[in-house]
Structure 1
Amino acid sequence: MREAIEASGLNDDEALLDQPADVEIVDESIVFTGRVWNIRHETFRYNAEILGRDFVAHTGAVAVLVLDDSDRILAIRQYRHAVRLCEWEIPAGLLDVEGEDPLAAAKRELAEEVDLEADDWSVLSDYSTTPGGSNEIVRIYVARGLRKIEHAYVRTGEEADIEMRWVNLDDAYEAALNRQITNSVILIAVLSAYASRSRGWSTLIPGDSPWPMRRWRDATSQ
């Protein structure tokens, strides 16, 4: 196998690392304006070709894996109309407030969705949801040192009947492996947290750490 890899010119010892690409945008336009997101068409130069692509121009989002002292996570079940499912998820929300810091947005979502505050915030994962058709990126935080807040937020629409459940991380991990949960955010959060715990949570970084992926996306979307 190693000989085949070397013959192909590939290096199996190189670490996997996404790299930003600076391409020339030839033309761009909004082809559909939606209630929450728009569809953007961009024409760009890549490998000496002029290509055109449509994609969802997304605000980006943050999510919170709430973890208590017993290694339980707080899961919420919410109706999602596009897939006609009442999905188990974790608290999350859009970065749709102009200039709002992602960590501040995560704290806001935690309070609004599950009436909690947290003293300890760490970054668990950054990822692109559907890079073939959307520029959405998500930062997932771990929140610990929890306390209830006195003011309960009034929830409407699909959030009006949110169900909340504390689930042991081990049980959530099994639910992910057994395809019982399908939401990408909770899947990535649970699998990443399970792996991080096996390393003594050494993969976590401070909650206010820079978010290079978002900085690059915003700089190239102007």
Structure 2
Amino acid sequence: MTSSGSVPGAHEFDVLSSRTVYSGAILALRLDQVVMPGGRTAEREVVEHHAAVAVAALDEDENLVLINQYRHPIGGRLLELPAGLLDKLGEDPLEAAKRELAEETGLAAREWSVLVDVALSPGFTDEALRVYLATGLYETDRPEPELEEADLQILRVPLAEAVRAALAGEITNATAVAGVTALMTARASGAALRPADAPWPGLPTAFLERKARENSASQ
């Protein structure tokens, strides 16, 4: 037992109050007053964000499809997996992944499975990511790219080389590191992957529900 009399792992972190500081196009910031063990109250900053999907697209030669994309917050380009946001309430994650793969690379895939789910930075945001493995690649229509995507470079990198680059600090995008290392681990261990329509308990919906309420109130 702890000095507060509670059993570790059993405390209910009740929210006493919550207020929104900012609500924008892709995220909102709220401040929650949360009950800590022992009865003390602490303020927690929470960034509500869209969920995201990414695709580890592997061709028949064991090359991984990567994109080199400019990211303004860091002022530079990163090697990444094709990825995008789930920005419609109730949108199917698999369909979003297929859309993003086509939009960013002009590719489609015949076989899909869930590679890994990631809570990206749970210390301050509910943003979560699902990475799919896509194989049996073939070309499909690609919409005309806009904004940063007009500068996007598409690469095909041997999987082993992508793993080396991640471990060497040359691939630092969290989504890409998670997807690359998970794929190599699955291949090396023979671990079975989940089906493409597997449940996603960690899928965040708070931000989309917020935007739906805001849109309803403005009408």
Gaps of at least 5 residues in structure 1 are 1-18
Task: Give the one of 35, 50, 53 matched to 1:62.
Answer: 53
User: How many Å separate the matches in 1 of 2:11 and 2:185?
Assistant: 29
Q: What TM-score does the superposition give when structure 1 sets the normalisation length?
A: 0.84
Equivalent residue letter for 2:29? I
CA distance in 1, matches of 2:92, 2:137: 21
Measured against aligned partners, the alpha-carbon deviations of 1:92-124 in whole angstroms (never above 9, x if no partner) come to 011111210111111111111111111111111
Indicate if the aligned counterparts of 1:72 and 1:168 stay in contact, CA closer than 8 A.
Answer: yes
| Residue 102 (str. 1) matches residue 93 (str. 2) | yes
C-alpha displacement of 1:152: 2.3
Residue type of the partner of 1:205? Answer: R
Q: Is the Cα contact below 8 Å between 1:124 and 1:203 reproduced in 2? A: no
Structure with larger RCO (C-alpha < 8 A, sep 6+): 2
TM-score (normalizing by structure 2): 0.85
Mapped partners of 1:21, 1:161: distance in 2: 49
Give the structure 2 partner of residue 190 of structure 1: 180
**Partner residue in 2 for 1:175:** 165
In 2, Cα distance between equivalents of 1:56 and 1:31: 10
Give the distance between the partners of 1:21 and 1:114, measured in 2 at CA.
46
Cα RMSD, aligned residues only = 2.0
* Structure 2: runs of 5 or more not aligned: 1-8, 211-219
Write the mapping of 1:140-219 to structure 2, written as runs, cut at 5 A: 140-149=131-140, 151-200=141-190, 202-214=191-203, 217-218=204-205
SS in structure 1 at match of 2:165: helix
Match of 1:111 among 102, 123, 131: 102
**What is the CA distance between 1:218 and its match in structure 2?**
4.3
Q: Which aligned segments of 4 or more residues in structure 1 are displaced greater than 4 angstroms?
A: 19-22
